Structure 1
Amino acid sequence: MEESKQVYRLQGLSCTNCAAKFEKNVRGITSVEDVQLNFGAAKLTVQGAATIEQLEEAGAFDGIKVYPEKSREPENKQSFWKKRENITTMISLILTAIGYVLYFIMGESHPATIGVFVGAILIGGYSLFKVGLKNLTKLQFDMKTLMTIAIIGAAIIGEWAEGAVVVFLFALSEALESYSMDKARKSIKSLMDIAPKKATIKRGSATMEIDVEDVQIDDILMIKPGQKIAMDGEVVKGQSSINQAAITGESIPVHKSAGDEVFAGTMNEEGSLEVRVTKRVEDTTIAKIIHLVEEAQAEKAPSQQFVDRFAKYYTPAIMIIALLVAVVPPLLFGGSWSEWVYSGLAVLVVGCPCALVVSTPVAIVTAIGNGARNGVLIKGGIHLEEAGRLNAIAFDKTGTLTKGKPEVTDIVLLTDKTEQEVLGIAQAIEQFSQHPLASAITRKSIRVHADVYQADGFQSITGKGAKAMVQGEEYYIGSPALFEDKFSITSEVQDKISQLQPDGKTVMLIGTETKVDALIAVADQIRKSSKTVIQKLHQLGIKQTVMLTGDNKLAGNVIGSSLGLSETKAELLPEDKLLEINNIKEKYGTVAMVGDGVNDAPALASADVGIAMGGAGTDTALETADIALMADDLEKLPYTISLSRKTLAIIKQNITFAFVLKLVALLLVIPGWLTLWIAIFADMGATLIVVLNSMRLMKKDVL
């Protein structure tokens, strides 16, 4: 029998150490087979059976509340100042202040002074001692154990005042760390509030408002102007401008009419729409984004893995150093016991790994949230870090740098036939073809109101063109090679073809066995944003930008040079693109491949970072790529590189700062200058600065 898998959302998960302990406690429930805790997203996945009461009991030490994933989690609108742990912190501060007043009036050893300080320690440190003493009995050494030992030690040697200050400052740093982590999580939670929870639907002649969970595929959504669209679907009636910024990051609204796709969470601006629902609520694009973002937060970045491994050995090492500082000088060099035990306690406090442990996850969670709100889906910390190290970027041409929609650019008439006649004959033949060049001719014919003809006996000539009977005469349309094979081409026609091809245009000929009536030149249109994006990437320091295309060399080189790319590789098969990616990797190091996520899968997989465009509405792009640009546009690429680099820089700053500050504080032991005050300020200060530095990634614009 298959084990049941339950997913829960958590409230009150305050720190990484608490998360690890909670996971261990849940694992200890006998009916639980396996547990996965996602700290960044505050989600718990339990394999096996466990009641909510059992799970909350496992997290009782940190006041963790557990809710089933599908249920509506109650909004925790409790003020920062009304939380129980924050109230006890404030009482501890007031008692510590009173204690210092008595300290100066009555002296440090007066029973009233000691009593007030003891009150400050017990009230402010109650939850700390409860966990710390329990850990001590089990020989589990985390930061709460270190703090508990330090405060008990301070009390034993009569340092009541400093013990009270340490308790207050530790409680304050915990409260601020919890507050900042909640803020980072809320940036992700805001994604969940994008799509409405209710939808107005029409079933038969009745119109009703129901929960989105009850909406069925093929239901008709009624959307008024100014309303958010509740589900993914296809417009069946009406037209309007839709603001898709929440999904794709595009600031300019997109015009939608019958047959166009719309996404849950986007805003209908002016017209009324009727939309046929195409996906259930759990399968909508926004639901997929939320799921992938949460999964991304659970995936540890290389720097975080390093810090986690380091912290494992770091805490026991600090305990040993603290013990040596407390014991060696008095035993071997006749030092004062109280003085060196005090220094040992200060080493314990300063050695807390809080700042190191939070240095990476807060930055990663915040950056992934920023990306998601700006239409960039980054599927893990590892991809975020890799994108920050990019030296080269390879682009697919069709549909990435170009629109992927060829247009007729020139019609060169060679006989007395008019443009309308030529296009009419061409459309009559090409209407039977699925080729992109055929659709370009059809679009042009409709635009210029070409003559309408009927074609009979259509026959495709593989790789070269087609032929059919139009008005009793056999017409051919296709490449110059088709006409060269069948009939000879005059030098005049050859000259005209040679004039068009160097501009990157694909030239088709239309005519009969005896004459060529016209040349039709077709070209894929370059996206307006492509040139600017390439310039921005070079400004950001990307050394090499390469276009990989299956198109002919002439067309490829024209587009490559007009965009300012470093290099163009043309006439490539999918396996050749893979080879090129490996060559670029050898030459330049870290390389990204940008494509549409459907074609070029081997190249996307082989690159260090696979970036897919047009993730909105394209399941393949969301699933295959490491990073998905939700809009069908490259404009977010420089932003993504910039966000990744800034994240990488902030992680390095955090780790370096936390190391250096602790090292400096530890060196103060040598001249005997390290006090418990300095120790707790060094620890709390490092944690706060690391968290605040990471929060800079919340800013919308990182360029």
Structure 2
Amino acid sequence: MHIDKKELSIIATSFAFVTISYLVSNQTNKTIILAMALIIAGHEIILKAYKSLKNKLSLDENFLMSIASIAAFSIGEMVEAVAILLFYRVGEAFENYSVKRSRKSVSQLMDLAPNYANVKREDKVIKVNPSEVKIGETILIKPGEKVPIDGVITSGETMLNTASINGEPVPLEVGVGDKIVSGYININALIEVKTTKDYENSTATQILEMVENATFKKSKSERFITKFARIYTPIVVGFAFCLAFVAPFLFNGDFSQWLERAIIFLVVSCPCALVVSVPLSFFGGIGGASKNGILIKGSNYIEALSKVKSIAFDKTGTISKGELVIDKIVALNGHDKNEILSFAALAEKNSIHPIALSLNKAYKNDKKAKISNVIESAGLGVSAVINEHKIKVGSAKFLQEFNPQNIDKTAIHVAINNKYAGYITLKDELRSESRECIKWLTNAGITTALITGDKKNTALQVGKSIGIDRVHYELLPNEKVSTLEAIMDKTDGTTAYVGDGINDAPVIARADVGIAMLGSDAAIQTADIVLMHNNLAKLTTAIKIAKKTIAIAKFNIAFSIGFKLGVLILAIFGYANIPLAIFADVGVTIIAILNAFRAFKI
């Protein structure tokens, strides 16, 4: 993202004319050159002031900038007049740079929506738009295809990738009678599904709509300067008018003397320090965050993050790594754990199933092992001959002849030479920094919540292990949104949500501050803040940066207003001259800018 080229050219051209004016000795030519510089730098500002006054009867900061610069020019402070507008334009350029959202279209999220549905009609299977499928019709879903519409399986068994909807890395084993929702991806077998909803009311479509609607719900705070100027500018202009045209009659002074005081008053009152330093403070915070691997998409999100009082987290890929690792290996009937792992991994050696990949990652494959007669049963398991041993690896259903132990569905059971040998359970490994992050947030007075699609036992166990205050489990995306809204209603301050998947996009969009880990493009594009290093420790860093940035901005506001008010009072009583007025404008601005640069060094 770059500063607008047109804005840069205006600033550079106007500055060039000011520089040239110093090389010209003839006063008339100098005045003409500086007048051109003033017009180049200020024509848009003056036009905005005119339109605002004409259409809204509003005296905004553009009006004050215009009248102050024209007044300075009229009393011979021509360079100062141009400088007022140049400072303002530089401030606006920084403002646009820092506030302009880098959020892109959530086009990646559209991958969640299927392009077609295979529907059975009159003993034929035809490909139609999902919106044309009616409730109660039968659709066929082939391996690799997305589930287009919510329904119930009437024929076939398969494994489904459900990560886009509930964030779970473990494929879901389904068969006849099981309910499935749109957005799931069929992994390995043909199934027939009777639709229970139409396309418009299906899960995937609702997620897409929620992202759009939730984005509109996000409040947009007005810039401080605009709010301030609505009150400040009319007061300043009114005061200046009274100084110039009323005070001479009340205090029997010289009219030209009071006019000069009024002009000095206007020059001093120009809010350059605020216009430049406040957005620059935010820009510094954004720059400092960027150096720390944190992308903040606008200054308003820094302000919101500094006020955060509650943070809700997704689990898979956020609190956890989203990768399955071995939890425990149980060896039975005389076998040892390494034997169970080695046979399971070797049998699954050529599979791309997530569980198979996890097994092979945990076991350094024996390249000399002799593997033959590999037979894969879709969605169930694998049988093979390994080093002359008959091996059978898979789900409890696949090994039901051996009466495997009744344990977690994610368990991988192993039979060796037609005897049950044991099982392996897997878990989603927690991030090493999760516990410290939650501890820091708790100490900072920020409440935490876990909002996940995981099963109750898993969610509660994770929440307890890292110290999260509240745990909400077994939630679909629409339920996640409503749960977050309930948290927001009870929070006296802003609420943030941290997630990483497509299924998190609606919740990220709905939060006061949406924060994404590096995960799906949809989550990243919807988020207000992105933790680019995929490390939860960066969340606490982001909050520290936000608080420091706001402290710097508040100091600049107090310093600028306080100093200017002092000089304004001196101007009223005739104790302020043009040099002091210039310092109150430009000098204060420079000091505030230098202070704002501290935000870059977090």
TM-score normalised to the size of structure 1?
0.55
Secondary structure in structure 1 of the residue aligned to 2:486: helix
Q: How many Å separate the matches in 2 of 1:585 and 1:682?
A: 43
How far residue 663 of structure 1 moved from its aligned partner, in angstroms, is: 3.1
Percent of residue pairs bearing the same amino acid type? 33
Q: How many Å separate the matches in 1 of 2:335 and 2:500?
A: 41
Q: How many Å separate the matches in 2 of 1:179 and 1:425?
A: 67
How far residue 184 of structure 1 moved from its aligned partner, in angstroms, is: 10
What's the counterpart of residue 448 of structure 2?
A: 545
Any conservation in 2 of the 1:131–1:145 contact (CA below 8 Å)? no
Any conservation in 1 of the 2:69–2:85 contact (CA below 8 Å)? no
- Going from structure 1 to structure 2, the CA distance change for 1:669 and 1:449 (only over 3 Å counts) comes to same
- Going from structure 1 to structure 2, the CA distance change for 1:432 and 1:552 (only over 3 Å counts) comes to farther
What's the counterpart of residue 371 of structure 1?
A: 289
Any conservation in 2 of the 1:549–1:569 contact (CA below 8 Å)? yes
Out of 646, 650, 659, the position equivalent to 2:552 is 650
Secondary structure in structure 2 of the residue aligned to 1:600: helix
C-alpha offsets along residues 254-308 of structure 1, whole Å, 9 cap, x if unaligned?
Answer: xxxxxxxxxxxxxxxxxxxxxxxxxxxxxxxxxxxxxxxxxxxxxx98352x423
What's the counterpart of residue 334 of structure 1?
A: 252
Any conservation in 2 of the 1:383–1:626 contact (CA below 8 Å)? yes
Q: How many Å separate the matches in 1 of 2:528 and 2:485?
A: 18
Any conservation in 1 of the 2:313–2:451 contact (CA below 8 Å)? yes
How far residue 326 of structure 1 moved from its aligned partner, in angstroms, is: 1.8
- Residue pairs, 1:437-476, within 5 angstroms: 437-447=355-365, 453-454=371-372, 458-460=376-378, 466=381, 468=383, 475=392
**Aligned letter for 1:393?**
I
What's the counterpart of residue 579 of structure 1?
A: 482
Any conservation in 2 of the 1:187–1:370 contact (CA below 8 Å)? no
Any conservation in 1 of the 2:69–2:82 contact (CA below 8 Å)? no
Any conservation in 2 of the 1:413–1:419 contact (CA below 8 Å)? yes
Q: How many Å separate the matches in 1 of 2:448 and 2:44?
A: 55
- Going from structure 1 to structure 2, the CA distance change for 1:180 and 1:672 (only over 3 Å counts) comes to closer
What's the counterpart of residue 691 of structure 1?
A: 593
Q: How many Å separate the matches in 1 of 2:39 and 2:512?
A: 47
Out of 621, 628, 631, the position equivalent to 2:533 is 631
Q: How many Å separate the matches in 1 of 2:354 and 2:45?
A: 72
Count residues in correspondence.
Answer: 467
Secondary structure in structure 1 of the residue aligned to 2:358: helix
| Residue 524, structure 1, aligned to residue 428, structure 2 | yes
What's the counterpart of residue 555 of structure 1?
A: 458
Q: How many Å separate the matches in 1 of 2:422 and 2:45?
A: 90
Secondary structure in structure 1 of the residue aligned to 2:311: strand
Unaligned runs of 5+ residues in structure 2 are: 51-62, 100-218
What's the counterpart of residue 320 of structure 2?
A: 402
**Aligned letter for 2:3?**
A
Any conservation in 1 of the 2:98–2:286 contact (CA below 8 Å)? no
Any conservation in 2 of the 1:354–1:687 contact (CA below 8 Å)? yes
| Residue 302, structure 1, aligned to residue 221, structure 2 | yes
- Going from structure 1 to structure 2, the CA distance change for 1:411 and 1:673 (only over 3 Å counts) comes to same
- Going from structure 1 to structure 2, the CA distance change for 1:374 and 1:407 (only over 3 Å counts) comes to same
How far residue 628 of structure 1 moved from its aligned partner, in angstroms, is: 1.9
**Aligned letter for 2:242?**
L
How far residue 415 of structure 1 moved from its aligned partner, in angstroms, is: 0.8
What's the counterpart of residue 273 of structure 2?
A: 355
Q: How many Å separate the matches in 2 of 1:372 and 1:184?
A: 17
Unaligned runs of 5+ residues in structure 1 are: 1-37, 46-54, 66-79, 96-115, 155-162, 189-299
**Aligned letter for 1:574?**
P
Secondary structure in structure 2 of the residue aligned to 1:355: helix
Any conservation in 2 of the 1:478–1:509 contact (CA below 8 Å)? yes
Out of 502, 505, 528, the position equivalent to 1:598 is 502
Any conservation in 1 of the 2:284–2:549 contact (CA below 8 Å)? no
| Residue 343, structure 1, aligned to residue 247, structure 2 | no
Any conservation in 2 of the 1:124–1:171 contact (CA below 8 Å)? no
- Going from structure 1 to structure 2, the CA distance change for 1:129 and 1:43 (only over 3 Å counts) comes to closer
Out of 4, 10, 13, the position equivalent to 1:64 is 13
| Residue 391, structure 1, aligned to residue 309, structure 2 | yes
Higher relative contact order (CA 8 A, sep 6+): 2
- Going from structure 1 to structure 2, the CA distance change for 1:124 and 1:688 (only over 3 Å counts) comes to farther
Q: How many Å separate the matches in 2 of 1:692 and 1:596?
A: 37
What's the counterpart of residue 85 of structure 1?
A: 18
C-alpha offsets along residues 133-165 of structure 1, whole Å, 9 cap, x if unaligned?
Answer: 98999996553542442453x5xxxxxxxx6xx
How far residue 322 of structure 1 moved from its aligned partner, in angstroms, is: 1.0
TM-score normalised to the size of structure 2?
0.63
How far residue 458 of structure 1 moved from its aligned partner, in angstroms, is: 3.6
What's the counterpart of residue 676 of structure 1?
A: 578
- Residue pairs, 1:204-219, within 5 angstroms: none
Any conservation in 2 of the 1:391–1:590 contact (CA below 8 Å)? yes
Q: How many Å separate the matches in 2 of 1:137 and 1:518?
A: 81
How far residue 518 of structure 1 moved from its aligned partner, in angstroms, is: 0.8
- Residue pairs, 1:210-289, within 5 angstroms: none
- Residue pairs, 1:146-161, within 5 angstroms: 146-150=68-72, 152=74, 154=75
Q: How many Å separate the matches in 2 of 1:136 and 1:642?
A: 36
How far residue 354 of structure 1 moved from its aligned partner, in angstroms, is: 1.9
Moved more, 530-539 or 628-637: 530-539
Any conservation in 2 of the 1:597–1:625 contact (CA below 8 Å)? no
Any conservation in 2 of the 1:457–1:468 contact (CA below 8 Å)? yes
- Residue pairs, 1:140-219, within 5 angstroms: 141=63, 143=65, 145-150=67-72, 152=74, 154=75
C-alpha offsets along residues 313-357 of structure 1, whole Å, 9 cap, x if unaligned?
Answer: 754653332121122122244344344223222212222232232
- Going from structure 1 to structure 2, the CA distance change for 1:374 and 1:693 (only over 3 Å counts) comes to same
- Going from structure 1 to structure 2, the CA distance change for 1:301 and 1:684 (only over 3 Å counts) comes to farther
Q: How many Å separate the matches in 2 of 1:137 and 1:44?
A: 17
Secondary structure in structure 1 of the residue aligned to 2:502: coil
How far residue 359 of structure 1 moved from its aligned partner, in angstroms, is: 3.8
What's the counterpart of residue 663 of structure 1?
A: 565
Out of 423, 427, 438, the position equivalent to 1:534 is 438
- Residue pairs, 1:503-522, within 5 angstroms: 507-511=411-415, 516-522=420-426
What's the counterpart of residue 134 of structure 2?
A: none
Any conservation in 1 of the 2:391–2:414 contact (CA below 8 Å)? no
**Aligned letter for 1:687?**
T
Secondary structure in structure 1 of the residue aligned to 2:515: strand
How far residue 529 of structure 1 moved from its aligned partner, in angstroms, is: 2.7
How far residue 594 of structure 1 moved from its aligned partner, in angstroms, is: 1.7
How far residue 406 of structure 1 moved from its aligned partner, in angstroms, is: 1.5
